[in-house]
Chain A
Amino acid sequence: MSTIDSTVRHNQGLAGAHDDHHHHELGFWQKYVFSTDHKVIGVQYGVTGLTFLFFGFLLMLVMRWQLANPGDAVPLVGGALRGLFGPVVMTDAGALTSSGYNVFGAMHGTIMVFFGVVPLAVGGFGNFVVPLQIGAPDMAFPKLNMFSYWCFFISGVVMLGSFFVPGSAAKSGWTAYPPLAGMADFENGHLWLNGQTIWLLAMVFNITASLLGSINFIATIIQLRAPGLTWMRLPFFVWAQFVTAFLLVLAFPPLEAAGFMQLTDRVLGTCFFMPTGLVVGQSVAQSWSGGGSPILWQHLFWFLAHPEVYVLILPAIGIVAEIVANNTRKPLYGYKAMVYALFGLGFLSFIVWAHHMYMTGMGARVATFFQITTVMISVPSVVLLTSLLISLWGGSIRFNMPMLFATAFLPMFGIGGLTGIPLAFNAVDLYLHDTYYVIAHFHYVVAPGTIFALFAGVYHWYPKVTGRKMSEGLGRLHFWGSLITINGVFFPMFLQGMAGVHRRWYDGGVTYEQLIKPVIHWNMFMTVSAGLLALFQLPFILNFFTSLRFGQKVGRNPWEATTLDWDTPTPPPHGNFDKPVEVFRGPYEYSVPGATADFVPQTHRA
């Protein structure tokens, strides 16, 4: 079959779709709510994810207040919070209680990871951009896609609803370690209606949504690439989503299994994770058969949760790669090496999980294995970061909003990554484990790292979604304000952590003041920085909404980009493309010698 022939076949679907929809216009509900269009679903995921990110951040603001001013009423909103969250979480005077601190901490972690970043990075950007970048009319399974979103939506509602059950939401951290998590939240005598049980139920929905979504991504990328779009012509963002989806498909199910087990431990009285002879309140727990193992949970949890951190970072790197190539007006340096590095990362991320468990007293041999694999995984990570850095070299860089955030991502991710290397070593980790050093390390990866990349993505694709650009002025205020304050939040955590300040302390360390005197004063500095960081999000929120009306109008390809997502009408219609798509070249043909423009779109015939 000739290529042209297959182009026609490939695009028949899209032509058909057009015919169809001339006949029946979709109603409001089908068009914007229960839509099967990947673009609508992408926007739904994106907006839900952004909302959750903001909410998770607000929870942390209250916690930061408590850390710097232990026991003091939260200013301005203390009374309102007391009314909203009730007496378990807030005192009558409007201060955070110790249970409340645990609730907010557990929900901050859970919401940021599973309800904020993944839905925005994978569900939002993945859904909107991947089908466009591969020249497809939609995802391979549009109905399944809609189902995934609504399954995720339900999980979010259930998780948020758990704030309002007796005893409030889960308090056992995002890691939900048994045996504590297995016994927590039963004070009010409800078997099902309590924080930790509902946390598990919500996670089952969330995981199911992620699994179905990832299957859809992989099938779409394999099956619906436009003619001529061979594997090594895929934009790097598509590769990143592809590997991410594999991580989700393979790593999430064991956590789902573990979730079922913890659920039966809680509601049926089984002992998967409850050891023999467990002493509760000074007596051995009688009602349990025992025989379970808390370590088993840790294995199953981290078997997911380590790959999960790559799920948080790979789509971010994908976004940054697109933006760097576009704004340096150069091909990505080492595109192929980056693709292979992705696969190396994907594979290795399945055999490093126990580096989170050095404290469990595993034998020296097991620890050695995991130290070696952990050090090995830094190699592909460095390949990715270095390639992006070298890509900047010699470019005449356009520092627009997406590029500012993408550039800042590089050193921030660098700090996060490099500070992780000491943690790979058992001997060092025994000291640093569960201190603020670890909090600082992974937040550099996910906050000024991933979150900045996601901001970059929002600024970059906003024109494609809405037909208008976001304001550069407000954007710059958002960027510089955030960059400075976010370092103010997280950098001192390294200092505190190395001095021994432990995570999950409710009073900011006052109890151990004698031990941590030299660093405790940083609490105030970090809290003020976090407050300012919150203020600097206001220009973004303002920008996001006002640009819908007042942003500068743009055409098909405002960034003069090469990839297929910029080869559609803006915003893309139902079915995406207004012409048959065929690809003739690689993804980043910028500044090709002899070409008429400084970019050659992938659809440009040789």
Chain B
Amino acid sequence: MSKFLPFFTDRDVPYTVAARPDTGLYSAKLGIWLFLASEVMLFGGLFSAYIFLRLGAEPGYWPKGLLNVPVGTLNTAVLIGSSVTVVFAWASLKMREFMKYRFYMAITILCGIFFLCVKLTYEWPAKFDHFGVFIKQSSAAKYEEFLGNDFLKEKNEEPRWEVTGHILRAPKGSPYGAVAEHNAEHFSHGAGHGLHLPGGEGDYVIQLDAINAKPNSEDNLRPAFWPRPLSSKTAVIRAEDVESASTFVPRHSTYFATYFLITGLHGLHVLGGLVVFLYLWLPFKGGATLYKSNPEHLANRVEIAGLFWHFVDLVWIFVFPIFYLL
């Protein structure tokens, strides 16, 4: 790093590479553990916010089953896999097998990139074009055919106040007008030309998710692994019956607020880890080239970056169940 940026001067501080005998640690290893302690507190703060908000949520206001579980599972597996390969990379360096190091590190990096690509090109965008409308409780009876609250009550389940799906028409002046038009076009291509949308200027028209299309189905009560496709049924909702309406962006609900904040921050950590891995993989002076002059130092760097990577993995192992499954 020092040769990399201007204005840095090297001071020979002891125990940068060799361990101090009485503590058994080289300094950077202690440093990364301390850093991870602070990271635990950072994500701890966020997870406790999740718990606090979820426990405090009114019945029916904590959405469930909106994320794609198979994709999440795949990403979990990929991330765990990369945690294993980074250990192999480190072990290869320890055994002074440089080519193997390059190989395992490359796999680790590819896994990380894959994870981020899935997040950014599929998972998040799929949220942004999904739409949800929370119905005022006083108006809920009018929309019983989409909410199924009688059925839920009979089954002792929390009530449902939200209708979700793709928006086809937004009330005049709504910021979602453009999205709706775009969707409506797609919809009409799929369903044949000349589609006539129901409803008028003051209405939301939603192409329904399966759950709202058949709210009284027993299937809804069981958690589903495979996401169910959008139905071809639509619902018309009067603007004055709406409590809040938005795409699945952070402002949609405290659920999506926590989801995006935590996965976003986690994603930044993945990105940070990748940058460091790339630096260590490419022939930078402090990266792979260091192998020639001081292979142990390079191994230490990989060990530290690897510890960080394990932590990032660990955070995901909490994220996955609490957002995708519970």
Contacts and interface: CB of A to CB of B under 8 A. Distances in A.
Interface in A194-232: 211, 214-216, 218-219, 222-224
A142 B13 contact: yes
A14 interface: yes
Contacts, number: 173
Interface string B242-254: 0010100111111
A290 B2 CA distance: 49
A270 B28 CA distance: 38
Interface stretch (A44-52, A261-269, A393-401, A406-414): A261-269
Contacts of A13: 11-14
A253 B250 CA distance: 22
A259 B20 CA distance: 38
B41 A9 contact: no
A65 B198 CA distance: 66
Interface string B43-55: 1111011001100
Count class of interface residues, chain A: 35 or more
Given A138-B11, A219-B27, A252 B38 contact: yes
Contact of B53 (A224, A257, A264, A296): A296
B12 A293 contact: no
B122 to A, nearest CB: 21
A3 to B, nearest CB: 11
A258 B45 contact: yes
Interface stretch (A28-36, A353-361, A518-526, A593-601): A28-36
A223 B21 CA distance: 10
Interface residues of B, number: 51
Contacts of A159: none
A295 B1 CA distance: 43
B10 interface: yes
A249 B21 contact: no
Interface in B10-24: 10-15, 20-21, 23
Interface stretch (B56-64, B106-114, B210-218, B289-297): B56-64
A268 B251 contact: yes
Given A13-B12, A249-B37, A296-B49, A271 B42 contact: no
Contact of B11 (A36, A219, A250, A254): A36
Given A223-B14, A293-B52, 11 more contacts: A13-B12, A20-B12, A30-B9, A216-B31, A222-B23, A258-B49, A268-B257, A269-B251, A289-B251, A291-B53, A291-B61
Interface of B: 1-2, 7-15, 20-21, 23, 25, 27-28, 30-31, 34-35, 37-39, 41-46, 48-49, 52-53, 56-58, 61, 134, 244, 246, 249-254, 257-258, 261, 265
10 contacts: A137-B12, A223-B23, A249-B34, A250-B38, A253-B39, A261-B49, A289-B246, A290-B244, A291-B56, A291-B57
Interface of A: 1, 6, 9-10, 12-14, 16-17, 20, 26, 29-30, 34-37, 136-144, 146, 211, 214-216, 218-219, 222-224, 249-258, 260-261, 264, 268-272, 276, 286-293, 296, 299-300, 303, 575
